[in-house]
A and B are shown apart, each in its own frame.
Chain A
Amino acid sequence: MMLQVENLEVKYGNIQALHGISFHVNEGEIVTLIGANGAGKTTSLHTIARLPPPEAPRVIAGDIKFQGESILKTKPSDVVKELHLALSPEGRRIFGNLTVMENLKLATYARAKDDDLNKEFERIFDLFPRLKERRTQRSESLSGGEQQMLAVGRALMTGCKILMLDEPSMGLAPVLKYDLFRKLKQLNEEGMTILLVEQNANLALHLAHRGYVLDTGNIVAEGTSEELLGNPDVKKAYLGG
């Protein structure tokens, strides 16, 4: 097990957002967390990424283990640097006044000095050829889909072992959405482990190997994608009949 979350309980101020959830991600898997708004999907990712305040949720019980070791005491910047857990945040949050290339370069903060960066840039540009075309443009001038590609590319540039994606399909046209998910599939086939949080449960379950269904801070169902897609409750609540 690469990443393991055990009985995690977190609070924002006085409000408890997660009531003891447990899930795990194996190497080479795509795991998805699905659920309605406010179910605690993003909170889970933020807790794993150890985000700084004010976004930071406070852990009151439970543990997060990466390759068997607790990461609750790790500094946020070290989560990427030492554990190689990269988060592509909700709403993309790219650096608008930097160029595409500079955005990607910024992510290399996490890397050892002697890494071959050119090869990495080539890898990102192979995956997202559009970014190569636009690499000298300011990233705020990109379209929504391109910005999302950049956000994913930027997370990949950190040299991560687990890629955590928060709502990558938000605000994308269906064609772009499918395109992006195909790219994620391709990444996974190259060996990337992915933890995906999605509103679009149908799409997410078709991509993922396994899934967990969250509801108001609890895990209400889990299993392989086929099981969840066939589960009548999940179908009714999240897949539209």
Chain B
Amino acid sequence: MKRYSLNILLVVFAIGLLFAAHFRIIDGYIQIVVMTIGINIMMSTSLNLVNGNMGEFTCGHAAFMCVGAYISSILSVFCFGTKFGEPLLPAASVVIVFPIILLIGGAVAAISSLLVSVPSFKTRDDYLAIISIAVNYMIISAIENMDFVGGSRGFQGMKDTVWAMTDIFDGPWMLFWVINFTVFTVWVIRRFISSTYGKGVNAICQDEVAAEIMSVNTNKIKIINFMVAAGLAGCAGGLYAHMIGYVNPQSFNILKSTEALVMVYLGGMGSLSGAIISAIIFTGLLEVLRSQAIIDGLISPVTFMFPDWEPSAGVIKWVIIPLLLIIVMQFRSEGIMGNRELGDVFPKLKKFYRFK
């Protein structure tokens, strides 16, 4: 029972969510929020693999998301869209081909991670951060200058694939895929971290030279770790592209990378459950603070004093969230979970589930 409790809970939750979405109990907006949370969980947990577990500092994670998004979008338009001519594959195969397309996007993103992981053999910390920012800019401007994917105007046509899926069965397909891939991501990362390779990653974080002395091939482990992280970010990018139906290189700029970085540091370095929790909180907060009514309520003491001032939610949101971040870093600099997992913080929970 203990062994399966978490899986059962997850399945029940996922089916419940899908049913609620299918029978319109939750509307399209909530679905989008849930999907964004899922994609953000993928982003933060995969970045956590590099920044938390391996102790490197990279801030260009959105670049890999960008690669994944574009590759899977192009493939999906080739296979099922009409933009580049007749669809290559019959629309009926979409349900099988779509996850493969996402995984190919992830694989290409993983290969592109070599741009960061190879320099990381010799550099660390701030220098690697600069390299990763440079890679982020490189990838974005490369895509901006590719005319056949629309350049800086962006690229669309992926909705054809989603519609092909709804033709087969009219249901919340994107939600289904996001849930599946989020669970897949967390599972992969968990397995990776508890494997022998994961121990090597931890050793690199602690002391790279000592790890090398203990015969850990640090270069190999760095490449693998970056590839896993970038590959999963690439899958997240593919999902994002198909969820919105439109991609633009500028939506994967340094700000997007920073968002992922914030989620990792908010959750606690090296804590998988922390990254998940902070992705949920952060995304939820972004959405909640979008409402003008809530913002008005929150700052009513200030507007009471300055009646002429009518701030918009869009502006105040970006004051409140960084402020929260400052407060968290000031009083709990290790993040929400520190570098512990949920089971370490609440030992009693361990009785009820096993997480592997």
A residues bordering B, Cβ < 8 Å?
49, 51-53, 55, 75-81, 86-87, 89, 93-98, 102, 105-107, 109-110, 154, 158
Contact = CB atoms under 8 A, between A and B. Distances in A.
Given A52-B209, A89-B210, A109-B196, A97 B215 contact: no
A77 B121 CA distance: 14
Contacts of A75: 217
Contact of B209 (A51, A80, A94): A51
A94 B203 CA distance: 9
Contacts of A81: 215
Given A95-B207, A97-B206, A98-B206, A77 B199 contact: no
Nearest to B209: A55
A158 B199 contact: no
Which size bracket describes the interface of B in this complex? 20 to 34
B315 interface: no
B269 to A, nearest CB: 11
5 contacts: A55-B209, A93-B209, A96-B206, A106-B211, A109-B215
Nearest to B214: A107
A139 B212 CA distance: 19
A97 B213 contact: no
Contacts of B122: 53
A52 B212 contact: yes
Given A89-B209, A95-B207, A107 B199 contact: no
A6 B99 CA distance: 59
A77 B209 contact: no
Interface string B191-218: 0000010011011001111111111111
Contacts of A98: 199, 202-203, 206
A110 B212 contact: no
B218 A52 contact: yes
B152 interface: no
Contact of A49 (B199, B211, B213): B213
Interface of B: 122, 196, 199-200, 202-203, 206-218, 339
Given A97-B339, A98-B202, A107 B215 contact: yes
A80 B207 CA distance: 17
Nearest to A75: B217
B202 A80 contact: no
A71 to B, nearest CB: 14
B199 A102 contact: yes
A106 B209 contact: no
A93 B206 CA distance: 9
Given A53-B122, A95-B206, A98-B199, A87 B217 contact: no
A75 B199 CA distance: 20
A109 B215 CA distance: 6
Given A52-B209, A89-B209, A95 B202 contact: yes
A150 to B, nearest CB: 12
Contacts of B199: 98, 102, 105-106
Contacts of B214: 80, 106-107, 109-110, 154, 158
A94 B206 CA distance: 8
A110 B218 CA distance: 13
Contacts of B217: 75, 77
- Closest CB pairs A-B (n = 6): A80-B215, A110-B215, A93-B210, A77-B217, A95-B206, A76-B212
A93 B208 CA distance: 10
A76 B213 CA distance: 7
Contacts of A107: 214-215
Given A93-B207, A93-B209, A93-B210, A109 B202 contact: no
